[in-house]
Amino acid sequence: MDGYTVGVLTNIGLFSFLALSAYVLLVAGELSFGQQAFFGVGAYTAGVATAMFGWPLAAATAAAMALGGLAALLVGLSTLRLRGLYFAMATLAAAEMARILFELLRWQREVNGERVGPDGAQGFRGIRWVFEHGMEAGGFLALIYGVLSVLVTALLVLERSRLGATLRAVGLDPEQAAAVGIDIHRIKLGVVSAAGAVAALGGALYAHHNTYVEPRNFDIMLGVHALAYALVGGLGTALGPLLGVALDVGVLEGSQVFAGYRMIVFGGVVALLLVVRPRGLLDEQIVNALTRRGWGLR
């Protein structure tokens, strides 16, 4: 595999975590413009753990997921009483607060004669775990897709379960779900926290792929794209967001046909799809039809 293909596949894989994070919230009926904040929390946490304190990548990633989930839970506790657009705006505000916090974060220590750690707007350099452990780009790509496969499989299993059905009921008609005794607030808090952990997982891998992160990496554009990928790919199955990412980063960007105009093309695709297929390409109807024919997308 050449370097370009590895790069495109790596970008698709890493973006998929963020898109899946937005997807689980959409399934639960919530629109978040702020998942990039938890991606950032994961990136900084895992970077601090490996680069400053020499943790193994697996432990650093687990810590990143825990902190990402906790941060999302705290945001959820203060915003989930809001509905629809108000919740979306609150998540955007929280994400911008997080980005500004990253800009204020200065915490460095000396490691092997070099100052390492977050340095405000200058970013956080020296997240070299991958290089120091002799991992090649292809090996890291395999790691990304290995972790992504586990996550997608877990989501597909969840969607077939009673909890998955409950989640969709909450997302489609919360009043009716509450009427049959489902604790909407508790379910949504759990979803918000899990979505934060998923985004943080992607962020941890991103930081180690890039070796460097900075606050601007986690601005609104990243969150908007993640949301768009979930909406374009479809809300009928966890494979939907992956399709959305693959369409934009893989087909539109990877083919280089539209060059610098690709963002405009993708924006048009999103607008068109929101009109003709508001729940995306792989929506519940398509997935149910394919499942009946034995495709088993859910």
Partner 1 sequence: MGSAVNHVRPWLAATALAALVAPPAHAQRADASLACRATATAHVYDCVLTLSRGGKPLQGAGVVVGVDMPSMPLAHSVAPVTATPGAAPGEYHFRLALEMHGEWAVKLRLSGPVRDQLILHYDFDGTRASPVRR
Q: Which residues bind partner 1 (CB under 8 A)?
A: 3-4, 7-8, 11, 14-15, 54, 56-58, 112, 114, 121-122, 125, 128-129, 131-135, 137-143, 145-146, 206, 210-212, 214, 216-217, 219, 221-222, 225, 248-249, 253-254, 259-260, 262-263
Q: How far is the CB of 126 from partner 1 (least distance, A)?
A: 9
Angle between helix axes 35-47 and 220-233 (nearest 10 degrees) is 120
Q: How far is the CB of 260 from partner 1 (least distance, A)?
A: 5
CA nearest neighbour of 51 among 201, 197, 215, 210:
210
CB atoms within 10 A of CB 285: 12
CB atoms within 10 A of CB 287: 21
Q: How far is the CB of 297 from partner 1 (least distance, A)?
A: 16
Contact 48, 273 (CB under 8 A): no
| Alpha carbon distance 99, 39 (integer Å) | 11
| Alpha carbon distance 121, 93 (integer Å) | 19
Contact 145, 13 (CB under 8 A): yes
CA nearest neighbour of 253 among 10, 56, 2:
10
Q: How far is the CB of 121 from partner 1 (least distance, A)?
A: 5
- One-letter amino acid at 105 equals L
Identity of the residue, 158 or 263, whose beta carbon is nearer to partner 1 in the bound complex: 263
Cα radius of gyration rounded to whole Å, the chain:
19
Q: How many CA atoms lie within 13 A of 150 on its CB side?
A: 7
Identity of the residue, 142 or 163, whose beta carbon is nearer to partner 1 in the bound complex: 142
Identity of the residue, 20 or 73, whose beta carbon is nearer to partner 1 in the bound complex: 20
Q: How many CA atoms lie within 13 A of 64 on its CB side?
A: 32
Q: How far is the CB of 62 from partner 1 (least distance, A)?
A: 12
Q: How far is the CB of 51 from partner 1 (least distance, A)?
A: 11
Identity of the residue, 179 or 259, whose beta carbon is nearer to partner 1 in the bound complex: 259
